[in-house]
Amino acid sequence: MIVAMQETANEDQIQVVVEHLVEMGFSVHRTTGERQTILAAVGARADFDTRNLEVLSGVMEVHRISAPYKLAGRSFRPQGTVIEFRNGVKVGDKDVVVMAGPCSVESREQLFTVAELVSKAGARALRGGAFKPRSSPYSFQGLGLEALKLLREAGDKFNLLVISEVMEISQIEVMLPYVDILQVGARNMQNFNLLRELGKVRKPVLLKRGIAATLEELLLSAEYILAGGNYEVILCERGIRTFETYTRNTMDISAIPIIHKLSHLPMTADPSHGTGRRDKVAPMARASVAAGADALLIEVHCDPDKAWSDGAQSLFPEQFAKLMEELRMIAPAVGRKIA
Ligand code: PEP
Ligand code: MN
């Protein structure tokens, strides 16, 4: 950490800051310039609050140098994390893994029809909500266990991994026999009790960025899961809330290369929730692959206008198949491949 003192700071004020740093466990290296004193502090734990120093008199600026997360940081595994599934699919490797399916599982027929189509188009995982986090308590809340059973059956039939959202701790045990990836939704990114429990699980977790979360907060949430011993975490950008109203959320494509710089964890892009509009999903999916996404999460429905949730952002199967063709052309330009 670097503490830059104000030009007007006197020796007493500088000493108070030095004492604070020593108390926090830092060793302090002082540079006394002609006008300004700089204190370089090294060696303490990462979980300090820089504001405790910023408020001391005579302090101008405080800069954190080391990241507050350790296990999620790129330096923990500079080569990057690759998550391998039993059917040979790898997330974080050369292939960009496409996960597709309806927002919610509605019926056997709905799920199996869409599963077959997305599988034929090249998806490697089937998505579908069994437990739905809805903004209104009166909206469809998901079919629960029945949906999980259908997902597993359809996944096995069409050689697709299964990903579905876990909303609370009690659902983890229920879901484990049926899913290959446990999705933590945007609304639960900082449900720390849930994250801690997922740290005990030995199954990959896809952690979505909260609608108002910084990337540092996303990585600190991932740290909860990693700290519990579950190293199979996949991150996901799904749009954040900004002042723009044209789209449902603002898809932050820059999160992809930033996460790749800061972390070794694979990064997914969800342009469906990222835009909320069917007509904007394909461009954002193409941009995500070009920006280096390791996986995509895309909502597809055979009859989106009649979907029980998120129909407006769900692609028709033909649109999805066309998008896959486009992605197959873009991926090699950035050294990647699509099934
Ligand atoms: C979903 O994937 O259907 C979902 C609810 O996502 P999010 O948590 O990003 O809103
Ligand atoms: Mn959805």
pLDDT at position 335 is 98
Q: Name every residue whose Cβ is closer than 8 Å to that of residue 298 and which is 6 or more positions away in sequence.
A: 98, 99, 100, 127, 270, 271, 272, 281, 285, 315, 320, 323
Alpha carbon nearest to ligand 1 atom 10, residue = 186
pLDDT at position 98 is 98
Compute the distance between CA of residue 251 and CA of residue 284 in angstroms, rounded to an integer: 8
pLDDT at position 43 is 85
Which atom of ligand 1 is least distant from the CA of 129? 3
- The ligand minimizing its distance to the Cα of 99 is 1
The counts of H helices and E strands in the chain are 11, 15
pLDDT digits (tens, 9 = 90+) for 130-148: 999 999 999 999 999 999 9
CA of 308 to the centre of ligand 2 (A): 10
pLDDT at position 294 is 98
State yes or no: pLDDT of 44 exceeds 80: no
Report the predicted TM-score, pTM, of the whole model to 2 decimal places.
Answer: 0.93
Q: Ligand 2 (ion): which residues have CB within 5 A? A: 103, 310
pLDDT at position 197 is 98
Q: Which residues lie with the beta carbon below 6 Å from any ligand 1 atom?
A: 103, 129, 133, 185-187, 208, 238, 273
State yes or no: pLDDT of 329 exceeds 80: yes
Which atom of ligand 1 is least distant from the CA of 183? 2
Instruction: Please provide the DSSP assignment of 197-226 as one string.
Output: HHTT--S-EEEEPPTT--HHHHHHHHHHHH
